[in-house]
Amino acid sequence: MLDYDTVINWPFPDVVQDYTTRDTMLYALGLGYGQNPADPAELRFVYEDGLCAAPTMPVVLGNPGAWMRDPRTGIDWVKSLHGEQGLKIFAPLPAQGSVIGRNRVTGVVDKGPGRGALLMMERDIVDTATGALLATRTSTSFLRGDGGCGAPAASDPPPPPVPARAPDIVHAIATRPEAALIYRLSGDYNPVHADPKIAAKAGFARPILHGLCTFGVIGRALVATACAGDPARLRGLAGRFSAPIYPGETIETQIWTEPDGLRFQARCVERDVVVFKNGTGKTA
């Protein structure tokens, strides 16, 4: 069972990560950029001449590793699920460089025996050379096996509602059949995304796409539409994962423009299933 005092005070060392233009291009290829290699709007993310980093790339940098598997945490990590993801962007990520990942646990919520627990984390991505804060990554893990751990109980904040009208923008992006095999090269080697036997044991018909890849594809849609193609205008996005995507399926992002920012959700076109909900976004 999760040890609250140990987890809430977990000492994360700084994670220094160097990355190259090759890493930047590989991340973008994992999101499907380059499917139309004659399109300059795609080519700038996958070709070294004028290369730009995709604005969601900070989510794969500065990872503290599989710390939840440490027996001292008490976490039943096998039963953990990636529930929510967010990213606040303060400055464009350079196409190559070095960053420091500064990770911290920001909260644990006990939902009660048999109901699981929530673990909230933040990660600052800091430019090693300048000390500038480039982005802050937020995430919530649903720990299905740790309800009743004794952490403070709290109610979930109400998610932002989807406006009661048709979306202002609809943008569909088809993922490639080998998308998960490419995306995993950015650092997430969980075999559920590559091995059909492991995926079957987890209850999936075949390997599923990484949640953070879905998150990045949604970021692509926001850049292409709400940001008028300018990646520097995307300042943040967040929301909840609600269903997996299989590589090769189409992710349709439905976007509403509101006075305080963007609202969005994403669905799998082929199965008509919402895969990401309660989305919020900020643009410059």
Q: How high is the pLDDT of residue 160?
A: 82
Q: How high is the pLDDT of residue 161?
A: 83
Whether 8 is a known active-site residue: answer no
Q: How high is the pLDDT of residue 129?
A: 96
Catalytic residue among 89, 173, 208, 218: 208
Tokens representing 191?
A: 């075999």
Is 284 in contact with 232 (CB distance < 8 Å)? yes
DSSP 259: T
Mean pLDDT per block of 10 residues along the chain (284 residues) reads 97 98 98 95 97 98 96 95 97 98 97 95 98 98 96 81 94 98 97 95 95 98 98 98 98 97 98 98 98
**d(C-alpha 201, C-alpha 190), whole Å:** 13
Q: How high is the pLDDT of residue 158?
A: 82
Q: How high is the pLDDT of residue 54?
A: 98
Q: How high is the pLDDT of residue 206?
A: 96
Ordered structural domains, the chain, with CATH: 4-143 (3.10.129.10), 169-283 (3.10.129.10)
Q: Which long-range contacts (CB under 8 A, 24 or more apart) does 266-271 make?
A: 266/214, 266/217, 266/218, 266/221, 268/243, 269/172
Whether 171 is a known active-site residue: answer no
Catalytic residue among 147, 193, 219, 239: 193
Q: How high is the pLDDT of residue 157?
A: 73
Could you give the angle at which helices 21-30 and 211-224 cross, rounded to 10 degrees? 90
Catalytic residue among 168, 188, 195, 230: 188
Model confidence, pTM: 0.96
Is 123 in contact with 59 (CB distance < 8 Å)? no
Q: How high is the pLDDT of residue 116?
A: 96
Whether 211 is a known active-site residue: answer yes
Q: How high is the pLDDT of residue 103?
A: 98
Catalytic residue among 32, 147, 211, 279: 211
Whether 230 is a known active-site residue: answer no
